[in-house]
Structure 1
Amino acid sequence: METDCTRHPGVAPLAAGTRLLHIGPHKTGTTAIQGALFAAKDDLPAHGVVFPAHSRHPMEAALAACARPAMMGDTVPTEKHWTRLLDAVRASGGRTSVVSSEFFADAPDDATALRIVEQLGGERVHVLVTLRPLARIMPSQWQQYVQNGLRMGYGDWLEHMLRKPPYEAPNPSFWRRHRHDRLVERWARVVGPERVTVVVVDDRDRDGLMRTFEKLLGLPEQILQPVPDTVNRSLTLAETEMVRNLNVEFRGNGLPDELYSRLVRNGAVLHMKNACSPTADDVKIVTPRWALESAAAVGAESAERIAGLGVRVIGDTALLGAVPESAEEPPAKARIAPEVAAQALYGALAAVAATAPASATGSQVRTVHQTPSKDLVRVLGHRCLKRLRRR
């Protein structure tokens, strides 16, 4: 096994013309890297590197390639998304190109991974896996699942993921992504261990991942810079609990998934993230001590197995099995600030306004006031769904 330090100036660059496939997984710095690469897109070709995606994150292309469903209520990705990305990669010619999406980690089997590699360029493909300790990933991943309709609280979710075999409910994708030794092993089987690099992210070094990418791609130092992204910020405990309780009501009333995508995730939650920044008074999602220790044990086992796979490792794999020094007790309750709730409500209303018929009249408003709330929600859902279908 070849091991380099993330800050070490001797990290050897990949061969010119490599097609670097960054597969994540989720919550390992993928958004930061994708944003930096996309922001530097016009400057990279001068250094022999191309970022061929047409957006910061080619999520639809990756989902289509892996034959995975879209997020709840979103448009189903098609082969056209993947074909468009492949065409852009091929157009890069002999230059190094970078394809990055954490959803490649969701490839269901070796055959799918092999097809992805062959279509991207076969022997030119080098797989990059970025890893962080599970203890840091779990709260972020839970709140992300909540934003996709999960109704289970954090404590119960941890019990299911860590203590209830076969550890697949309610999110079977979690361990597919985050049993990191198996993830690395799957892709090493497809391309060979000599064409897999694992980068262990050290959260104490905020610029470390950017600098490592620069060295691997042979880029000038500092060309990749962090891009502010409020949309990708994690929710606070109170915000997540608000969305989770909304999910319970949403499912209980049998509303369509398309309505959830437009009004909740891309309406209320999106506007709340953009308009409100967490403060020191906001309660964070806290993982209990038992779960931290369980996650660290899995991480330590993964680190040991990765060390024996023959892949290149950059960074300190001991971080994967470390238990955080201080672990707070989970708070009894977290209450959402009125202004945050108002912004979330406004986001949903703005999404309604974007889909509501322009011919709404005062008489209709009076009728609405006389309608029971449950019936009103159903009518609104059907109207929005009908509008979406027309579009």
Structure 2
Amino acid sequence: MTPRPPILPVLHVGFHKSGSTTIQGALFARHPDIACLGEPNEDPVAFAAIRGIADSCHRVERKRVVFEPDKCRALWRQAMDSVPDGKVPVFSKEALTQYEHYQTPDDRRMADRLREVVGPARIVIVVRHQIKLIESLYLFHAKGARYEAPEHWLRARNEGPLRMYSYHLMTRPFIENFGRENVVIVPFEQLRNDPEGFSARICTFIGVDPERGAQLMQRERRNQRISNRYLVYSKIRKASGLYVGLGHLVPKSIRDKVNGFLMGGDDAKVRFPREWIEQTENYYREDNRRLAAEWNLPLQEYGYPL
């Protein structure tokens, strides 16, 4: 029997739109060997410690706060003291790898300050095919009255947020701070194709029962993509200037039927300009090659630009 690794706190840091809701709700919140301190129900003390770090890394100076390592460490120790003996503390917050906290993809501040506050820890990182991630992000933002045509949405973000998914660059500061042996990088596509194997890999890495983890992830898929019907409805709402949803205008019995219809049917699909896709794939290609080679990840199998 393989001995369990020593208990270290676990930080699941990202990336967003890469199955985080499913991992947090189905695995971290329900596994009996895990003390879940992050999403979906954050421990307020642990959250305060991590928020102090994140806010000190904000890319916008007027929103940035002074980093107070002693205060953050004291809060983190308080949160760790509340964890039952034998349980692995897991703090999941995919915002820790979001654009708002980084000046460039290789910005070290977040990883350096997490290490300074948390100390030794295990780092879980889930990556996703960049074009698919951006498609999912667009559909998340295009709901209801927020709808924007794809080309307009891309144009507003192309030189900023959509250039942050250089996974090899972004993960290096975490590896250098916490040690390669304490970092795992898993493709989101494995969650889609083999959720039990995906879960077992993470559970084995963090030191909890992988069989129980695999059971918890069976047939789990949360935060599903909006339907094509809802996307069309959102486009119509925006074009008509209807900023109040239909749910506020009709009785509940009718609203429920309408919502059921709008949420049903095929998943929404988005068509980005071919030229933009080619440019974006070229932008990420070399970084993906390095990630695949260094971590022996089957990115080619999943269609990543290489």
Q: What TM-score do the two structures reach when normalised by structure 2?
A: 0.67
* Conserved 8 A contact 1:236-1:285: no
Deviations 1:177-224 (A, max 9, x none): x22222112323433444322112333324332121222133334423
Check the 8 A contact 2:11/2:121 in 1, yes or no: yes
Aligned partner letter, 2:208 = L
The CA deviation at 1:102 is: 0.8
Q: Which of 264, 269, 274 is the matching residue for 1:278?
A: 264
State which of 317, 339, 346 in structure 1 corresponds to 2:299. Answer: 317
**Which of 207, 212, 216 is 2:205 aligned to?**
216
Amino acid at match of 1:89: M
- Please say which structure displays the higher CA radius of gyration: 1
Task: Map 1:307-346 to 2 at 5 A.
Answer: 307=292, 313=295, 315-319=297-301, 322=304
SS at match of 1:318: coil
User: Once superposed, what is the RMSD of the aligned Cα atoms?
Assistant: 4.4
Partners of 1:13 and 1:212 in 2: how far apart?
15
| Pairwise CA distance, 1:130 | 0.8
**1:155-166 to 2 correspondences below 5 Å:** 155-158=151-154
Q: Give, in angstroms, the shift of residue 30 of structure 1.
A: 1.3
1:269-319 deviations in Å (ceiling 9; x for gaps): xx8998564324x653344554554444444322223256x6xx3641324
Q: Secondary structure at the match of 2:90?
A: strand
In the alignment, does 2:85 pair up with 1:98?
A: no
Aligned to 1:333: none
The one-letter amino acid of 1:99's match is F
1:154 Cα deviation after fit = 1.5
Q: Which letter does structure 1 place at the counterpart of 2:185?
A: V
Contact 1:86 1:119 survives alignment (8 Å): no
Displacement after TM superposition at 1:51 (Å):
2.2
Deviation at 1:247, TM superposition (A): 6.3
2:11 corresponds, among 21, 24, 30, to: 21
* Distance change in 2, residues 1:101/1:83 (3 Å): farther
User: CA, structure 1 residues 227+153, in 2 after alignment: closer, same or farther (shift >3 Å)?
Assistant: farther
* Letter aligned with residue 287 of structure 2: S
TM-score normalised by structure 1 residue count: 0.54
Partner amino acid, structure 2, of 1:181: H
Residue 145 of structure 1 is matched in structure 2 by: 141
For 2:180 and 2:36, locate their aligned partners in 1 and report how far apart those are by CA, in whole Å: 24
Identity fraction in percent: 19
Q: Specify which of 120, 130, 133 is matched with residue 129 of structure 2.
A: 133
Q: Which amino acid aligns with 1:18?
A: L
Q: Which residue is equivalent to 1:334?
A: none
Aligned to 1:232: 223
Find the partner of 2:186 among 186, 195, 199. 199
| Shift in CA distance, 90/287, structure 1 to aligned 2, threshold 3 Å | farther
| Number of residue-to-residue matches in the alignment | 268
Residue of structure 2 in register with 1:183 after alignment: 170
CA contact (8 A) 1:237 1:285 kept: no
CA distance in 2, matches of 1:187, 1:273: 46
Q: Secondary structure at the match of 1:185?
A: helix
Q: Secondary structure at the match of 2:217?
A: coil
SS in structure 1 of the partner of residue 212 of structure 2: coil
